[in-house]
Amino acid sequence: MTIPRLYYVTAGLDPETAFATWSAVLAPLFEPRPWARSKSLPTGSANGVILGDMVIAKVAFEPQAFLRDAERIAVTPGHILLHLYMSGGFTGMISGEQTSIGPGKVAVIDLAHEVRTRAFASNTLSLVVPRTMLPDMGTLKPRLDAARNDLLAAHIRSLQERSLQIAEDEVEATVAETADFLKRLFTQSEFPEGTARNADDDLLSLAQSIIRDNLGTGKLSPDFLADRLGISRASLYRVFAPHGGIMRYVQERRLIAVRAALSDPLETRRLTRIAADLGFNSEAHFSRAFRQRFGVTASNYRRTQLEASLHTQLTSPEVVNQWWVDVASRARSAAA
């Protein structure tokens, strides 16, 4: 059985069809509504995968209001939506609190409660997990402190980046890894603490996020990373020792970021621009490095990805709707 892929792209559809598709995809979660003064029907697009009991997706949408009422709560109460805003944001009521979320922040949306928000045009990453993956803490607060927010954002970004390339035999371990991370995130007193291994893993996640944000700037050096992380160079070298060293890891992240961009059907930049934006100053060096790492030229890889996307039809909303039902059923069986 292949990993279910979610592909809901409404760009190019007529307004009514786009709205109907978007509404059907969101149906278990929210009812999308136009902004009060807007005459445009709200739309959005999502591209992601189902990984066992998790969904991870890249989601973009136009300004709109989102409503979660008692009817939807009755159908899908046992899930948590961890919603990272890369751009845009929203203001409104989640988990019984008036909340505002902006770029770089993760909204912790407890789906056991009503939601009434007004969102701006946004690009987001959404991770949906069953509540059973988190410790029993009652109603979750909609915002995290800065340290937890940054760690969760780093984890979500890393998971989304590799999700479309993940193999079937890696799904179970990936879900378990995320479950362990979330339990520590919501229960551990401070970060990075805990065991030495967990502390190093958390530092690596934060370093990975800093690296990802600076791939094209030319700033990436041991001194730069140590300063941003607030740790010594010796601690930094220890964290990266299992990964072949700092600059080798940076090179690997550049290649993975390029591959992720070439796999994204919503990516419109030219190949040379993507490589340059992600820190490759020489086209020849990039071409050699990509082929050596992935066994195919970057242009051929992108061509196969584009051909595949051209043959990919919009995923039926029933796929994700059935996922909600299956996960809830498994949670009830485990609790019985």
For residue 260, pLDDT over 80 is answered with: yes
9 versus 164: which is more confidently predicted?
A: 9
pLDDT of 196 reads 47
Nearest of 297, 264, 266, 293 to residue 283 by alpha carbon = 297
Task: Give residue-wise pLDDT tens across range 22-64.
Answer: 999 999 999 999 987 767 899 999 989 999 999 999 999 999 9
Place 16 in a pLDDT band, splitting at 50, 70 and 90: very high
Nearest of 192, 185, 229 to residue 207 by alpha carbon = 229
CATH class of the region 192-310: mainly alpha
Task: Give residue-wise pLDDT tens across range 293-333.
Answer: 999 999 999 988 877 766 666 788 888 888 888 887 777 77
Place 97 in a pLDDT band, splitting at 50, 70 and 90: very high
Instruction: Give residue limits of the domains in the chain.
Output: 1-189, 192-310
CATH (one of 2.30.30.830, 2.60.120.10, 3.20.20.210, 3.40.50.300) for 1-189: 2.60.120.10
Task: Give residue-wise pLDDT tens across range 172-189.
Answer: 999 999 999 999 898 876
173-195: b (≥16 Cβ within 10 Å) or e: ebbeebbebbebbbeeeebbeee
Place of tokens 């003064």: 37
- The residue-averaged pLDDT of 2-10 equals 86
Task: Answer yes or no: are the C-beta atoms of 50 and 323 closer than 8 Å.
Answer: yes
pLDDT of 182 reads 93
Domains 1-189 and 192-310 share a fold: no
User: Mean pLDDT over all residues of the chain?
Assistant: 88
Place 190 in a pLDDT band, splitting at 50, 70 and 90: low
How many whole angstroms separate alpha carbon 247 and alpha carbon 48?
A: 30
Q: How many CA within 13 A on the CB side of residue 60? A: 10
For residue 194, pLDDT over 50 is answered with: no
How many whole angstroms separate alpha carbon 232 and alpha carbon 224?
A: 11
Place 195 in a pLDDT band, splitting at 50, 70 and 90: very low
Task: Give residue-wise pLDDT tens across range 201-240.
Answer: 888 888 888 998 888 887 888 999 999 988 899 999 998 9
- Map residue 81 onto helix, strand or coil: strand
Window from 74-78, 81-85, 241-245 with minimum mean pLDDT:
74-78
Sheet holding 122-130, edge to edge: 5-8, 44-51, 54-61, 122-130, 79-87, 106-110
